[in-house]
Structure 1
């Protein structure tokens, strides 16, 4: 009886510790996910015609819609460029900001300044930069190129803004991780005759793998939740050339009032993110060196 009471007490204590997280996850993650999945199985209802159960018809309509594939392709290009570019630039900035250079504090502040700007303010700033004939690019030999009004350049213009905005944010994590590396490792590498590049490749980068995994997960999440700067820069145009997943979900729900299709698109996004997370933690986490 004593052991059973002790086990019950330990289990009760564990559930009490987990209950705050379970309440928050259930309220803001599990319950909305289930509600979204359930809504995606119904048609859009009106006053005259109530919503009816349609099963997977909303998913079939999405897959048959050419806009779906255009948006998916845009987001794949967006993620395929912004994620590695932001990580590489952030790592380079962190290595530079962590070095013993003059005005190091100013360099760190300069790198982090874009992150402190609200996205709407940053988008309006870049909207001026991209304005044909007026912005700075017009005076750098690019002429009167309509960067945001051409299908060939609109998405790339949005990508540049995203990289500029996110690299400084990820730099903070790398900078914090670099400052936890003991200086004895560098001294030992120098004694062994290792150069700067060898030390960075063989010592620094492996020790930064946990941070890289964390940054990679956040960068991938950011790549599918971009919406605010599109309202300012392109509104998904021209001809859906810069439309991304979350903006299209918002458009389906609040412009076309088709909440079930928006819910179906949300479920597909959650499934894709889940598969990506499994691959990330299954492959990359094995190479991470936790101390």
Structure 2
């Protein structure tokens, strides 16, 4: 009897410890999600009239929305351009600064500096780089006798320009995680591989990279989230233009909610984004985790 009472007290104690986090999670995550789902089933009221329940009509309109599909395609290209590039660059930088080189601390700081810059400040810096007449990139190309493009005004290169800035901003952040993971690998493994005459390339693919898989999956999820929640630097650089060439999903949500004042349609797009992220997270936790080696 005394043991049962003690167990119940521990359960109550554990529940009380989890209560603050549960309240915050429910207030700022689950309740807004439910409210967004409910809003997506209505049409906005006009001139004081109440919202009209329309069921799945907003989703039917979304399927027929050509702009939405163009924005979704842009976001897919953006994700395919930023995620593997930023991860590969971060891993390469981490391997470089993890070795013995002069001024290693300064190099690490230089790699990490873009991360600590606010996105608005970084976007303004790159706007100067991309300026057609006075920009750094076109001046460098002009010195070589090459006419530079309108980096943010040409639909064929605008999205690539935004991708380049995003990779520059994110790679240093991901590098920190890889650097921490590399420093946690026991040095005895490399010593044993050297005694066996294993090449550095073979040691990397057979030992280092498998041990970095948990970090890679963590970075991959963060990179995917970053690829979806792009708003601030688009607002500074292109505002989704030209002709929606750089418009991405979350910025399209922002436009519908605060520029077109169609918050129910914005809620519909948000629900679709959440569903896609939920599917990706499910695949990650059910498939990829089983193939990951944890120390």
The alignment's TM-score, normalised by the length of structure 1, stands at: 0.97
CA distance in 2, matches of 1:111, 1:286: 32
Aligned to 2:70: 70
**1:10 match:** 10
Partner of 1:238: 242
Question: Does 2:181 match 1:166?
Answer: no
Task: Give, in whole Å, the separation in 2 of the partners of 1:222 and 1:102.
Answer: 33
Q: Aligned ranges for residues 136-175 of structure 1 at < 5 Å?
A: 136-141=136-141, 142-175=146-179
Give yes or no for the alignment of 1:213 onto 2:217: yes
Contact 1:209–1:289 under 8 Å retained in 2: yes
Secondary structure at 1:152 match in 2? helix
Could you tell me which runs of 5 or more consecutive residues in structure 1 were left unpaired when the two chains were aligned.
none
1:253 deviation in Å?
Answer: 0.3
Asked if residue 257 in structure 1 is aligned to residue 261 in structure 2, the reply is yes
CA distance in 2, matches of 1:4, 1:48: 58
Q: Is residue 183 of structure 2 the alignment partner of residue 179 of structure 1?
A: yes
Return the offset for 1:48: 4.4
SS of equivalent to 1:87: helix
CA-to-aligned-CA distance 1:172-231 (integer Å, 9 cap, x gap): 110111111111111011111111111111111111111111100100000000110001
Aligned to 1:55: 55
Offset from partner CA, 1:67-104 (integer Å, 9 cap, x none) = 01000000000001100110000000000010111111
Aligned to 1:200: 204
Offset of residue 145 of structure 1? 1.3
Q: Offset at 1:144?
A: 3.9
Q: Which residue of 2 aligns with 1:81?
A: 81
Summarize deviations over 1:113-153 as a string: whole Å, max 9, x none.
Answer: 11111111111111111111311221333424111011111
Q: State the match for 1:285 in structure 2.
A: 289
Counterparts of 2:280 and 2:28 in 1: how far apart (Å)? Answer: 21
Paired residues in the alignment total: 291
Q: CA deviation at 1:2?
A: 3.5
Structure-1 residue corresponding to 2:118: 118
Indicate the SS of the match to 1:214.
Answer: helix
Alpha-carbon separation, structure 1, partners of 2:104 and 2:2: 62
Query: How many Å separate the matches in 1 of 2:86 and 2:230?
Result: 15
Q: Which residue in the other structure is 1:29 paired with?
A: 29
Q: Following the alignment from structure 1 to structure 2, what is the Cα–Cα distance between the partners of residues 125 and 235?
A: 16
Structure 1 partner of 2:100: 100
3-state DSSP of counterpart to 2:235: helix
- Cα distance in 2 for partners of 1:133, 1:277 equals 44
Instruction: For 1:109 and 1:284, locate their aligned partners in 2 and report how far apart those are by CA, in whole Å.
Output: 32
Residue 274 (structure 1) aligns with: 278
**Equivalents in 1 of 2:16, 2:204: separation in Å?**
45
Q: Provide the TM-score with structure 2 as the length reference.
A: 0.96
RMSD between aligned alpha carbons? 1.2
Greater shift after overlay, 8-17 or 219-228? 8-17
Per mean C-alpha deviation after superposition, the further-off stretch among 100-109 and 214-223 is 100-109
**Structure 2 partner of 1:133:** 133
Q: CA deviation at 1:3?
A: 4.5
How far apart are the structure 2 equivalents of 1:214 and 1:25? 21
Distance 2:206 2:25 in 1: 39
Residue 225 of structure 1 contacts residue 246 of structure 1 at CA under 8 Å; is this kept in 2?
A: yes
